[in-house]
Structure 1
Amino acid sequence: MDVAGTGSPTLVLPLDDASQVGHARRTTLQTAQRIGFDETDAGRAALVATELSSNVLKHAMRGELHLQVVPGRDGPGLEIVAVDRGPGFDVAACLVDGYSSRGSQGIGLGALVRQAQVFDAHADARGAVVLARLFPRQHTRRQDLRFGISHHALHGEPASGDTWRLAIDGARLSALVIDGLGHGVAAAEAAKAGAAAFVREPFDAPETILARAHAGMASTRGGAFAICQYDGAGTLRFLGIGNIAGSLVGAEQSRGLASHPGIVGGQFRKPTVFSYPASSGQLLIMHSDGLQARWRLGDYAGLWRRHPGVVAAVLNRDYCRGRDDTTVLVASMETPRE
C-alpha cells in the first residue's frame, strides 16, 4: 500500500485583524516542525502562511487560514488553505509577478507558486479559496495525492464525532467516512471504533469491513458509515449505512451514491454494495450531514477541475450547517502512479 491517511482535524485560524498574521505564521512554523520539516522547509511554510493571511486581510478584510497535515508518498506534508468571502480576484492575472489589484508590489501569489509543491485556487463573487501544499524538499518523488479533506468539530466541542480514513495503493483508492451519533467525546469514540475496522485491511470487501465496524461499534452509541472503493480500472463500489452522502461528479453531471437506513453498531438490514462506472477526471465526494445536501458543483464555474482540497474547502465554506461536526472528503479518480 502506497499511503494511508488518518482522520486528523483541520486547524482553523481566524483572520480579522493584522495581529493574527503573526499567530498564523508561528502556528504554521510549529506544525511544520512537528511533522519533521527541517528549518528551511518550515521557513517556507511560514512564509506561505504569512503571504496567504496578509492577502486575506488586504483583499477580503476577514477570513480563515486552514492547516491540515496530509499524507504524501514519502511522508507527511502540510496543506495551507486561505478561505474568505471577499470579492474574489482574477487567479491567472494574480499569478503574474508584478500584477496587483491593490497597488502593492504584486509579488505574493507568484512567490507562493515557487515555494509550494502544489498550488491551486478558485475565486468568484462568493469569495476565494487558495491552497498550497508543501513537502520536504529532499523528497524527490512526486508527493501529492489528489484528494482533499475539510474536517471540523462542532464549535466548542473538544473532539469531532466524525472521522475519515483514506488508503491508496497504486491507482486503487479506498475511502471511509464515519459520523458517530451526536457529537463530542462519546461520538468520537464510536467513530474511532469503526475506523479501526478499516485500518486493518482497507481493501477488503466493503461488506467485510462493515461487519468488522459493526462489531467494533456495538459497545458504543454507533453511527453512520460509508466506504467507497475505486479499483483503478473504471469501477467504483459504495456501501453506506445512515446519512453519509456520496456523489460522483464529472464535467456534465453529478450522480448520487445510494445508502441504506440504519445505525452501524445498532440495527440495519443486510446492505447491498452498489457499483458505478467511474471515468478519469471524475471526483468522489463524501460528506457527513454537517454539510447541507443541496450543493451543486456546477454552480461554480470550473471548480470540478480544481484540486480536491480546494473543492472540499469551498463546499465547507458555503454549505456547512454550523450545528454539527462536518467532514468533506474529495478524491480524484486520477490517483497518481509512479
Structure 2
Amino acid sequence: MSHEAALQATIGDLVQSGRGILAADESAPTIAKRFQAIGVESTEENRRAYRSLLLSAPGLGAYISGVILFEETLSQKTDDGRLLPAAAWEQKIVPGIKVDKGKIPLALSPGDEITQGLDGLAERLAGYREQGARFAKWREVYTIGKHLPSVTGMAANAEMLARYAAVCQSEGFVPIVEPEVLMDGDHGLERCADVTEAVLHAVFHALHRHRVVLEHMLLKPSMVVPGKVQPKAGPETVAAATLRVLRRTVPAAVPSIHFLSGGQGPEEATANLDALNRSGGASPWRLSLSYGRALQQPALQAWGGKSGNVQAAQQALLKRARLNSLAMQGRYTAEMEND
C-alpha cells in the first residue's frame, strides 16, 4: 500500500460518526502522579494491567476509533497474552503513538517552551509501524501570561508541529497536531480566544510551508475557556467562542477536530463537546474528542489497582465513552449521568 493510500485508510478508520480517540499516552511521570492519587505504585506491571483493562473493555470500539499509546505500551500484553495494539485493533480501534519527547524552556524566550523529539523520528516511526501503530501525536504547549506566548514562541512551536507532521506523512503516519493553550492562569475567555486564534494561524501557516496535506492530518486543539482561577463559562459560551476561532483559522480541508479536555472534569468536557456539536452542525469538519483524563478518571478511581475491580473500571470507562459518543452527535443531556 502506498503512503497516500495508507494515510487515507487511517483517516477513514479514525474519523467516524460517534467515535472518538482515547488518549492513553501518559508519560512515566504523569501516570505516576495519577497512580499516586489512588494509592497505586507506578510499576511496569501496574501500568500494563491498567492499560490492558482499558483496551480490552468489551464494546469500547463502538465509541472509540483510535487510541494514543505511550511507547512501552506497544510491546505490552493483555492478561490473556495478546499484544495491546492487537487487542485494540480487534475492536477496530486504531493504535497510535505519542512521539514527542517532552518540553523544555525555549532558549532566549523566557516563559515560552518547546517540545523535543524530531531527531531520529522517521526511524522511530518505522519501528512503531512494525508494532502496529498507524498514527502519531505531538504536543506543543502555550502558557497565557501578560506577554505570553511571545511571537517567537508561537513561531517556534508552529515550526516544530509542521516539521513533525511532514515527517509523519512521509512515513505513512497520520499526524495529530496538538497545540494546547493551557488553562493555567487568571485570564478571561476573550484573552484565551485571542491567543488560540494567533496560535492556530501560526500553526496552519507553518503546515502550508512544509507542504503537509491537510486532508491527511487531524487537529487536537484546546477549547476556548477562561483560566482556572476565573469562574467557569457555560457550555454554550465555550462552544460559541471556540467555533468562532476555529472558523477563522482552520481550513475546511482538515477532516476532523479532536478536542483535548485540558484539565476539564469528565462531565464538563462532555457537556462542552455536546454544545459544540449542537452549535457547529454547519461546520466543515467533524467535531470529535481525544480525551485522556476526562475519559479515564472514573475508570482509574473504580480500579484502584485491584484486579477484582477490573469489570467495574471497564463499566466506568464505557459509560464515559458512551456519553461522549452522544455528545459528538449533539444528543447528550446532563440527566444521562444518572443512568
Global fold match (TM > 0.5): no
Larger proportion of helix: 2
Report the TM-score, using the length of structure 2 for normalisation: 0.29
Q: Which has the higher strand share?
A: 1
